[in-house]
């Protein structure tokens, strides 16, 4: 462990009392022992490192995010308009389910805000306790200094001279008393500073308590609204459940829902591809500028070198140009298509959850986990009631269970959609998307970055689904792929 530098007061006393002419070493050591705990507590604090942000880069990313949100909002409005023109029984649940999702997300955000405030309050309390200990040590040290000064008194220098005392001893005594007076003054300053910090902490803690009370009151209000919305949805669903069930069994209904999903994915893919192309163009321009700058620097260096060094310089420059012109990994990737249809649905239990992981999405094939624990009822490629085959998985799970992102990515869609209820889509890069449907609530907004294993939604049966669970799809370049080829149940 590295010791912090000694405070100014201790250094002064140490310099004085360790001089060869000093005859008061024991008292000096006592003062040092009293001063060191306070010094260690006050001055041995880790310094905070503030990293400077790249303002243009941040502004550029915010502009990209704003453009993405604008495009997807336009897409969402188009979808909503199309849905209204072809309304069915399940659409009567739409507004109630959207409102439930919004209230759940608000409650989730308020819960996180409350946790942050509670941590802040705990930290303030800990700081207050540390300051109380420091203040007690400072006051004890001051008492000892005053007592030592009282014992020695405050003799007049002329009186000491007339008493015929040793002049050297008299000088040491006067210097010693002066050092004690200086130490006392500095201790008084430290005590006042400690008291000021305690007052500031108390004021900050009071403000945080008030903010926490407001958050808790808002939580209670939203919870009441949520209960009201759930009751309304329950009553509405009881009225139209027979009609919803009948429409779900109509031939062609599922195909229409799947066709709408495919259209949505195609539109999203085009938006993401356009944004990726813009980002790649900017990166290419930046690389070109960097290359030109490096070439100019090498040319300037070559001019400053002797003639014997020039061939090597040119060779290095050529190698550099080749390295910078070298293309990346252009290994063609074959789109993964769906597997042949299965004739039987086999249920299996998933007992694992996604975890954080690094690297590209494609490299995680076979090691991913399904988004929620539960029973895998509907399997990719197997027949569905109502016609068609499953293009993803249906995982039966209790309402309210956490749905987690299978890998790192960015939310590119979060809204209600016919047949899929509250739907969330995450872009993982390289044209890979993960899709989470029939949720009770969506806890993320469009544009938000998510990590593998991070909660993004809660399980439900929105969209007119009779069973509580999660509908999950994986898509690459717009085409559905078998999630069980990517995720493991073991």
Q: What is the pLDDT of residues 290-328, one digit of tens each?
A: 888 888 888 888 887 755 554 444 444 444 344 444 444
98 and 205, same domain (yes or no): yes
CB-based contact 434:480 (threshold 8 Å): no
Backbone dihedral region for residue 366 (phi beyond 0: left; psi -120 to 50: alpha; all else: beta): left
Q: What pLDDT is attached to residue 485?
A: 92
Domain end residue (candidates: 216, 249, 282): 249
Q: What pLDDT is attached to residue 402?
A: 94
CATH number for the domain spanning 204: value is 1.10.287.1490
Domain that holds residue 476: 348-485
**Confidence bin at 474 (pLDDT 50/70/90):** very high
Read off the tokens for 185.
Answer: 């003054």
CB atoms within 10 A of CB 68: 19
**Confidence bin at 88 (pLDDT 50/70/90):** low
Q: What pLDDT is attached to residue 455?
A: 95
22 assigned to some structural domain: yes
Identity of the highest mean pLDDT range in 239-243, 333-337, 392-396: 392-396
Q: Which residue, among 218, 258, 166, has the nearest Cα to 479 in the 3D structure?
A: 258
Domain end residue (candidates: 215, 231, 249): 249
Residue 272 clears pLDDT 60, i.e. is over it: yes
Domains in the chain, number: 2
Q: Which residue, among 44, 11, 37, has the nearest Cα to 139 in the 3D structure?
A: 37
Tracing tokens 């085959």 back to the chain, one arrives at: 389
CATH number for the domain spanning 469: value is 2.70.70.10
Read off the tokens for 310.
Answer: 């020039």
114 assigned to some structural domain: yes
Read off the tokens for 221.
Answer: 């209000």
Read off the tokens for 401.
Answer: 């269970």
Residue 22 clears pLDDT 70, i.e. is over it: no
Domain end residue (candidates: 249, 269, 284): 249
121 and 236, same domain (yes or no): yes
Tally the C-alpha atoms within 13 A of residue 234's C-alpha that lie toward its C-beta.
6
Tally the C-alpha atoms within 13 A of residue 139's C-alpha that lie toward its C-beta.
9
Read off the tokens for 163.
Answer: 């008493």
pLDDT digits 0-9 by tens, 193-210: 888 888 888 888 888 888
Identity of the highest mean pLDDT range in 20-29, 38-47, 255-264, 309-318: 255-264
Residue 469 clears pLDDT 50, i.e. is over it: yes
Tracing tokens 């050529």 back to the chain, one arrives at: 318
Q: What pLDDT is attached to residue 177?
A: 65
146 assigned to some structural domain: yes
Give the 3-state DSSP-derived string for 437-469, with helices as H, strands as E and coil as C.
EEEEEECCCCCCEECCCCEEEEEECCCCCCCCE
359 and 232, same domain (yes or no): no
239 and 372, same domain (yes or no): no
235 and 373, same domain (yes or no): no
Residue 467 clears pLDDT 60, i.e. is over it: yes
Taking residues 411-440, report their average pLDDT: 93
Q: Report d(CA 443, CA 406) in Å as an integer.
A: 15
Read off the tokens for 374.
Answer: 């539960």
Read off the tokens for 8.
Answer: 């100014």
445 assigned to some structural domain: yes
Residue 331 clears pLDDT 50, i.e. is over it: no
H/E stretch holding 427 reads strand 421-429
Q: Which residue, among 451, 430, 428, 455, has the nearest Cα to 442 in the 3D structure?
A: 455
Q: What pLDDT is attached to residue 345?
A: 53
231 and 354, same domain (yes or no): no
53 assigned to some structural domain: no
**Confidence bin at 121 (pLDDT 50/70/90):** confident
Q: Which residue has the higher pLDDT, 34 or 267?
A: 267
CB-based contact 378:342 (threshold 8 Å): no
**Confidence bin at 120 (pLDDT 50/70/90):** confident
Over pLDDT 90: what percentage of the chain? 19
429 assigned to some structural domain: yes
18 assigned to some structural domain: yes
CB-based contact 402:372 (threshold 8 Å): yes
Residue 43 clears pLDDT 70, i.e. is over it: no
Identity of the highest mean pLDDT range in 201-205, 355-359, 408-412: 408-412
CB-based contact 437:272 (threshold 8 Å): no
Helix, strand, coil shares, percent, the chain, to 5: 60, 15, 25
Q: Report d(CA 112, CA 379) in Å as an integer.
A: 35
Number of separate helices (H) and strands (E) present in the chain: 8, 11
Q: What pLDDT is attached to residue 79?
A: 61
Residue 65 clears pLDDT 60, i.e. is over it: yes
313 assigned to some structural domain: no
Tally the C-alpha atoms within 13 A of residue 437's C-alpha that lie toward its C-beta.
21
Over pLDDT 70: what percentage of the chain? 64
Q: What pLDDT is attached to residue 156?
A: 56
Residue 489 clears pLDDT 90, i.e. is over it: no
CB atoms within 10 A of CB 171: 13
Q: What pLDDT is attached to residue 471?
A: 95
Q: Report d(CA 112, CA 117) in Å as an integer.
A: 9
Q: What pLDDT is attached to residue 406?
A: 95
Identity of the highest mean pLDDT range in 126-135, 241-250, 346-355, 467-476: 467-476
CB atoms within 10 A of CB 18: 12
């Amino acid at each position: 462990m590295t010791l912090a530098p000694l405070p100014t007061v201790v250094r002064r006393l140490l310099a004085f009392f360790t001089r060869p002419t000093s005859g008061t070493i024991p008292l000096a050591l006592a003062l040092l022992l009293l001063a060191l705990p306070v010094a260690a507590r006050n001055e041995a604090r880790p310094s905070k490192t503030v990293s400077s942000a790249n303002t243009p880069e941040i502004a550029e990313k915010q502009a990209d995010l704003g453009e993405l949100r604008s495009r997807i909002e336009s897409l969402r409005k188009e979808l909503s308009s199309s849905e209204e023109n072809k309304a069915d029984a399940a659409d009567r649940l739409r507004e109630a389910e959207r409102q439930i999702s919004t209230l759940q997300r608000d409650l989730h955000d308020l819960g996180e805000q409350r946790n942050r405030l509670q941590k802040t309050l705990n930290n303030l309390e800990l700081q207050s306790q540390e300051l109380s200990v420091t203040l007690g040590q400072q006051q004890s040290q001051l008492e000892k200094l005053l007592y030592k000064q009282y014992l020695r008194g405050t003799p007049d220098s002329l009186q000491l001279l007339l008493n015929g005392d040793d002049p050297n001893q008299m000088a040491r005594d006067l210097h010693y008393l002066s050092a004690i007076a200086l130490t006392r003054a500095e201790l008084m300053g430290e005590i006042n500073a400690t008291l000021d910090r305690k007052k500031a902490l108390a004021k900050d803690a009071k403000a945080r308590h008030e903010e926490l009370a407001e958050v808790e009151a808002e939580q209670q209000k939203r919870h009441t609204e949520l209960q009201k919305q759930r009751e309304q949805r329950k009553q509405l669903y009881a009225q139209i459940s027979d009609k919803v069930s009948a429409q779900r069994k109509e031939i062609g209904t599922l195909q229409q829902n799947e066709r709408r999903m495919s259209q949505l994915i195609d539109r999203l893919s085009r938006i993401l591809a356009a944004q990726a192309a813009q980002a790649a163009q900017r990166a290419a321009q930046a690389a070109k500028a960097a290359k030109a700058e490096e070439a100019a620097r090498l040319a300037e260096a070559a001019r400053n070198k002797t003639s014997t060094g020039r061939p090597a310089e040119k060779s290095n420059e050529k190698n550099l140009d080749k390295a910078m012109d070298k293309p990346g990994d252009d290994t063609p990737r074959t789109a993964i298509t769906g597997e042949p249809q299965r004739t039987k649905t086999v249920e299996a239990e998933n007992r694992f959850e996604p975890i954080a992981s690094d690297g590209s999405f494609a490299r995680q094939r076979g090691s991913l986990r399904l988004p929620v624990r539960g029973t895998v009822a509907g399997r990719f490629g197997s027949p569905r009631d109502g016609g068609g085959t499953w293009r993803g998985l249906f995982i039966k799970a209790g309402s309210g269970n956490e749905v987690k992102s299978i890998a790192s990515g960015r939310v590119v869609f979060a809204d209600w959609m016919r047949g899929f209820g509250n739907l969330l889509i995450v872009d993982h890069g390289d044209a890979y998307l993960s899709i989470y449907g029939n949720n009770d609530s969506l806890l993320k907004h469009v544009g938000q970055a998510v990590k593998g294993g991070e909660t993004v939604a809660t399980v439900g049966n929105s969209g007119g689904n009779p069973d509580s669970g999660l509908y999950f799809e994986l898509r690459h370049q717009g085409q559905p792929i078998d999630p069980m080829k990517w995720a493991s149940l073991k």
